Chain A
Amino acid sequence: MGEKCRILYCNCAHARVVPDEVKNAVLDKLCETDADISWQAVSDLCEMVARRDPALKNLRADDGNLKIAACFPRAVKWLFASSGVPLDPERTQICNMREQSAGEIMQALLSDDITPNVPEGTGKAPAEVVAESEGNA
Chain B
Amino acid sequence: MSLTQTRALEVVLYEGGETTPLTPDERRTLFRDVLNQGFGVRRTTDPGDVPVDERTHAVVVGRFNGRQPESLGLPGPGGNIQFIDLSGEGEGLGADSPIAAAVGRIREDRQLFDHKVWKPWFPVIDYDRCTNCMQCLSFCLFGVYGVSHEQQIQVQNHDNCKTNCPACSRVCPEAAIMFPKYKAGPINGDMVSDSDLQREKMKVDISSLLGGDVYELLRNRSERAKSRFSKERDSDKALNERQKCLVKLQKDADIPPEVLMSLPSPDEIQRRAAEASAKAEAALEANRNKRDASGAEQGG
Q: Which of A28, A31, A34 has the most CB of B within 10 A?
A: A31
Determine whether B155 belongs to the interface, using a CB cutoff of 8 Å to chain A. yes
Say yes or no: A54 contacts B189, CB within 8 Å: no
Q: Is the interface of A mostly helix, strand, loop or mixed?
A: loop
Q: Which residues of A contact B32 (CB under 8 A)?
A: 27
Chain B residue, CB-CB nearest to A59: B40
A interface residues, tally (CB under 8 Å): 58
Chain B residue, CB-CB nearest to A124: B127
Determine whether B150 belongs to the interface, using a CB cutoff of 8 Å to chain A. yes
Determine whether A58 belongs to the interface, using a CB cutoff of 8 Å to chain B. yes
Q: Which residues of A contact B229 (CB under 8 A)?
A: none
Complex CA gap A53/B113 in Å reads: 11
Total CB contacts across the A-B interface at under 8 A:
180
Q: Using an 8 Å CB-CB cutoff, how does the interface string of A1-29 with B read, 1 for contact, 0 for none?
A: 00000000001111101000000000110
Determine whether B115 belongs to the interface, using a CB cutoff of 8 Å to chain A. yes
Complex CA gap A14/B119 in Å reads: 6
Complex CA gap A123/B120 in Å reads: 24
Q: Which residues of A contact B41 (CB under 8 A)?
A: 40-41
Kindly identify, within residues 44 to 102 of chain A, every residue whose CB is under 8 Å from any CB belonging to chain B: 44, 46-55, 58, 71-76, 78-79, 81-82, 98
Q: Which residues of B contact A71 (CB under 8 A)?
A: 180, 188-189
Say yes or no: B45 contacts A137, CB within 8 Å: no
Q: What are 25 inter-chain pairs, A to B, with CB distance below 8 A?
A: A14-B119, A14-B121, A14-B181, A39-B44, A41-B31, A41-B34, A43-B35, A47-B118, A50-B3, A50-B158, A51-B6, A52-B4, A54-B55, A58-B51, A71-B189, A74-B178, A75-B178, A79-B124, A79-B180, A81-B127, A82-B154, A129-B155, A129-B156, A137-B143, A137-B156
A interface, CB within 8 angstroms of B: 11-15, 17, 27-28, 30-32, 34, 36, 38-44, 46-55, 58, 71-76, 78-79, 81-82, 98, 119-132, 136-137
The 3 A-B pairs with the shortest beta carbon distances in the complex, nearest first, are A75-B189, A121-B128, A72-B189
B interface, CB within 8 angstroms of A: 2-4, 6, 8, 10, 21, 24, 27-28, 31-32, 34-35, 38-46, 49, 51, 53, 55-56, 113, 115, 118-122, 124-130, 143-150, 152, 154-160, 178, 180-183, 185, 188-191, 279
